[in-house]
Amino acid sequence: MTVLRTSLRNFLAHKGRMALSAVAVLLSVAFVCGTLVFTDTMNATFDKLFATTASDVTVSPAKVDNAQQTGTPDTLPASLQARLARVPGVAAVVPEVSSQQATVADGHNNDIGSTTGAPTIVANWNPTRTKSVGITSGHVPLAPGDAVLDADTAARHHLGIGDTLRVIAGPGDFKVTIAGIATFRTTNPGAAVVYLDTPTAQQGLLGSRTAYTDVALDAAPGVSDDQLKARVDAAIGHGYQVQTAAELKAQNQKDIGSFLGPMKYVLLGFAGIAVLVGVFLIVNTFSMLVAQRTREIGLMRAIGSSRRQVNRAVLVEAVLLGVVGSVAGIGAGIGLAVGLMKLMGAFGMHLTTADLTIKAATPLIGLTVGVVVTVVSAMVPARRAGAISPMAAMRDAGTPADARAGRVRATLGVLLTAAGGTALALAASAASASAGSGLLALGVLLTLVGFVVVGPLLARLVVRVLGAVTLRWFGPVGRLAERNALRNPRRTGATAAALMIGLALVAGLSVVGDSMVASATAQMDRSVGADFIIQAGNGNPISPAAAKAVHAAGHLAHVTDRTDVAATVTAPDGTKDRTVIAAATPSYTDDLQAKTVQGKLIDAYGPGAMSVPEGWAKTHKVTLGDRLDVAFTSGSTAHLTVEAITSDDTVFDKGAMYMNIADARKYLPADRFPANDMMFAAALPGQQSQAAAALGAATADYPQIKVRDQADYKNMIQQQLDQLLNMIYALLALAIVVAVLGVVNTLALSVVERTREIGLMRAIGLSRRQLRRMVRLESVVIALFGAVLGVGLGLGWGVAAQKLLALSGLGVLSIPWTTIGVVFLGSALVGLLAALFPAFRAGRMNILKAVATD
């Protein structure tokens, strides 16, 4: 009890000094708990949606592995409806028509689909729809040409009853009029949803009024879902996919889990980075508190306190800090989850706080993370406190440095850094991505730990250099700031290391991102000969009508069709490889000038011919002239001759097999042949601007079609990568915020530690302005030291990663000097901002009280 009372008294006595460490624990726990609450809420919301939409039993077309992407959903014969109605135990048969491969445009021909990647769903209206949506305005589709639009999409595009919509699908396009507005009962998963009457949906989406995409069955009273499924299987055979409500829900959960699972672990990964940065802050806080209480601890030891009791007292303080920070962090995490839900609402996915899911494990995990991290961080300072002798009560505050420990630390740091650098070098020269990625991860870990351990040794050198460059301009005040930063290299190194981690990740990712864009741009300049690249939005195939319009455009030398045809290729060694073959018109060899290591690529577009990639050929010992069995999914088997082997040294179409699209059509029924996934066009000599205008006019009626020239395509690549990097930088910002708190805390505690010294300096003539400048300059040099370490480390990581990516064709190394410059300027600004409060506090000290401080 004495230890507990002492710890509690010390904790309350130094609560101001503990505040920023508590904030670091709060932020780290908040990120962890917020991620868990947010993803659990999304899972619960989708579970509710899946539960309300699933019928007792659903019959769908048989699942086909490696299916052809035709642009039209797979279907069931309408005659199946009558057969299912006769199955004993079936109370109701509800035919369903649905497609996620359609585009819906408003009266101004603007695509009203989601811009966040969510699908556009066009379906027939039937009784099962009322489980998930309710008509809040107008009426259900009663006649051909009627449509119901979801309320979120209607509000986003200012659409209402009486407005015209145009549906563009594989079989063609048609117009409908909004007759009703439907509101989701649970959540709108971000999709744009349009409901039509059944005959219109059949004809427009499937091209036939004798087909459905699914049939939903309601079980009669007393008949279980499993019993009904067994009866349906017996009645219609096993050529269909029959699922109970539970099975369909599980499948949907698996599909959404493939998105939510990785997102959850990515967010937790960034939370882990914030926790790691917080460790440095907590270690520094307790180290400085122990140093400031050396005489107090010495007196405790002199009157009989054992080492174990002193050690335990410091650890109890850490537990109190962890509990306070964690409890506040759990509450902040719930608030963060609500904020993320509101953010998702801005992107079209409306999650309600009524579904907020806080599992019992979430606060326990948050509390465990906060307390364990805090206690582990305080162990080394606690051990130092226990080692203080009773004679320390006779000395001034401050623990003497252990020179031997410093030498051991420096040696260990150098060895770890050297081992990490060796691993990075080996990763950069690795022959395969699988071997190199493991070495890269090991190198990143070892160099990070090595830099943290060797930080105090580097501080003595780097801070002096930074001081000579930046601080000497400020005269004696600058020299004082430099000496203050060097006074305790271990503390300076730990403070800078917290900032170093975030900045190293920023610098490393910047190098990788910039190199990827530069490599893609260089590859495009070398190999892409087409003037225009045509694609559909949201990854959908190009509809036949849109493809026909592209072919009809004027001022073009040629137009290339290209699609991926699903097939299973059997190599001469008997290995079967399920893959896709890039089927295109022969002009594709001009549009994408792929290098070959054997043969001529144009020969692969002859009858009965194909090409294979270099790596695949080596693995399966394939040479020119070999004949391969190619079994096309939903089609027949071809025997194709290898006429070319393409190089793997490329960014575009890496690892692709090529053949003539006209030849591929021989082996597949017309209704199973995949629609174009891309098209290319070349302008007549000197007519590029006229060709661009002609393509724009030809595709004006198809808002899903994007026509880009090479400059536009490069910009698209740049924008996509920038969006990804900006999202990562935003997540890393939390770690950097925690690191800034570490700088603030270190300076604030340092000011308290140097109270008497500051009073003496003020007494001999140092002005308040000079004192504040000294503290600010000390903060700036610590922040710049962290930036130097972070940028140096990040550049090493980035260069090694780029060399490894060169195996995938990304062979151009590009250093983003602008970003590096921004990092240094930002670090200096961070140092200034972090010093505002400590400098203000130092300037307000009463000189006489400061000099009299014990």
Give the tens place of pLDDT for each residue, 513-538.
999 888 888 888 888 889 999 998 77
The residues near 574 (Cβ < 8 Å, ≥ 6 apart) are none
Pairwise CA distance, residues 822 & 554, whole Å = 47
Tokens representing 66 are: 């490696």
pLDDT at residue 137 tops 80: yes
Residue 643: pLDDT band with limits 50, 70, 90: very high
Percent of the chain at pLDDT > 70 equals 93
Is the Cβ–Cβ distance between 783 and 827 less than 8 Å? yes
Residue 196 sits at φ, ψ, to 5 deg, of: -125, 170
Pairwise CA distance, residues 446 & 56, whole Å = 55
pLDDT at residue 400 tops 80: no
The residue ranking higher by pLDDT, 279 or 609, is 609
Report the alpha-carbon angle 645-648-651, nearest 5. Answer: 130
What confidence score (pLDDT) does residue 178 get?
A: 96
What confidence score (pLDDT) does residue 399 get?
A: 47
Pairwise CA distance, residues 172 & 441, whole Å = 51
Report the alpha-carbon angle 204-108-158, nearest 5. Answer: 95
pLDDT at residue 397 tops 50: no
pLDDT at residue 88 tops 90: yes
Pairwise CA distance, residues 178 & 194, whole Å = 9
Is the Cβ–Cβ distance between 660 and 586 less than 8 Å? yes
Span 416-421, mean pLDDT? 92
Helix/strand/coil (H/E/C) assignment for every residue in 737-760: HHHHHHHHHHHHHHHHHCHHHHHH
Tell me the pLDDT tens digit for each residue of 469-507: 888 788 888 888 888 888 888 888 888 888 888 899 999
Tokens representing 785 are: 């030291």
- Which residue from 198, 207, 162, 208 is spatially nearest to 181, judged by alpha carbons? 162
pLDDT at residue 9 tops 70: no
DSSP 3-state of 509: helix
Helix/strand/coil (H/E/C) assignment for every residue in 173-228: EEEEEEEEEEEECCCCECCEEEEECHHHHHHHHHCCCCEECEEEEEECCCCCHHHH
Pairwise CA distance, residues 392 & 272, whole Å = 38
Span 111-117, mean pLDDT? 81
The residues near 182 (Cβ < 8 Å, ≥ 6 apart) are 129, 133, 134, 135, 136, 148, 149, 150, 151, 193, 195
620 phi-psi bin (left φ>0, alpha ψ -120 to 50, beta other): alpha
Task: State which H helix or E strand residue 657 sits in.
Answer: strand 657-660
Tell me the pLDDT tens digit for each residue of 218-268: 999 999 999 999 999 999 987 899 999 899 888 888 877 777 788 888 888
Tokens representing 114 are: 């989601």
Is the Cβ–Cβ distance between 560 and 681 less than 8 Å? yes
What confidence score (pLDDT) does residue 1 get?
A: 47
Residue 293: pLDDT band with limits 50, 70, 90: low
